[in-house]
């Protein structure tokens, strides 16, 4: 599979088969991703690959905290505090496409809630990757990390696996750090679901639109 094909085939997958992903495949993906560039070769990535009983215990603890009203607080501000156009509309349309695909009405708050809670289970993928970095690093390392995560997603496509990058997995950092033994002062950026796509699941049947090149590029000659 060439790079262009992998870029087009990658998508955020929200339903996975109950099929184990071997440790060897996870290592192969990370082996490829470790070649990602980073500013002055800082390589800020610290990855926790979580599966099996550890994943079950961790996701249950996160879900319980959420259902008990514990407020999610990330280690950094991911989204803007005030949404403006065109990002406000894009965000709205993204959520609308998901709920319309699943036939979830706006007033059906219970089904909306359950769909959101699935985030904390990594949509029942067999593997959840959690991404950490040292707190002394700055904005450039966030940029480096984005490239690293994209490398993981593209390598996963080549391995026949599906992914979903998830900011939601960073919403309860203290729970995750304590469970996985990471320092309190470290930064949990988020996570990623990893597994085999359930191609028959309705939630995986749609694709969000992308801007045409001409809409986001200026050419100077």
d(CA 70, CA 172): 9
pLDDT tens digits along 115-157: 999 999 999 999 999 999 999 999 999 999 999 999 999 999 9
Summarised one tens digit per residue, pLDDT across range 70-125 is 999 999 999 999 999 999 999 999 999 999 999 999 999 999 999 999 999 999 99
Query: What mean pLDDT value characterizes the chain?
Result: 97
- Residues 150-167: b if buried by 16+ CB within 10 A, e if exposed: ebbbbbbbbbebbbbbbe
What is the homologous superfamily of the domain 3-205 according to CATH? NADH Oxidase (3.40.109.10)
- pLDDT of the residue at 1: 80
**pTM here?**
0.96
**pLDDT, mean of residues 16-27:** 98
């Amino acid at each position: 599979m060439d790079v262009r094909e992998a870029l087009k085939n990658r998508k955020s997958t929200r339903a996975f088969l109950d099929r184990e992903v071997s440790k060897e495949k996870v290592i192969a993906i990370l082996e490829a991703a470790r070649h990602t560039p980073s500013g002055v070769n800082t390589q800020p990535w610290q990855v926790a690959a979580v599966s099996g009983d550890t994943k079950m215990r961790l996701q249950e603890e996160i879900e319980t905290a959420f259902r008990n009203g514990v407020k999610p607080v990330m280690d950094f501000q991911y989204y803007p505090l005030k949404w403006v156009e065109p990002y406000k509309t894009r965000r709205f349309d993204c959520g609308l496409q998901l709920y319309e695909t699943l036939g979830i009405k706006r007033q059906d708050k219970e089904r909306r809630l359950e769909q959101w809670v699935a985030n904390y289970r990594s949509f029942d993928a067999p593997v959840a990757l959690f991404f950490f970095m040292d707190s002394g690093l700055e904005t450039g390392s966030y940029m480096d990390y984005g490239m690293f995560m994209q490398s993981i997603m593209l390598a996963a496509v080549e391995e026949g696996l599906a992914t979903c990058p998830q900011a939601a997995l960073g919403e309860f950092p203290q729970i995750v750090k304590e469970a996985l033994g990471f320092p309190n002062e470290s930064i949990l950026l988020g996570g990623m679901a990893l597994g085999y796509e359930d191609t028959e699941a309705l939630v995986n049947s749609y694709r969000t639109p992308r801007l045409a090149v001409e809409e986001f590029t200026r050419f100077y000659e």
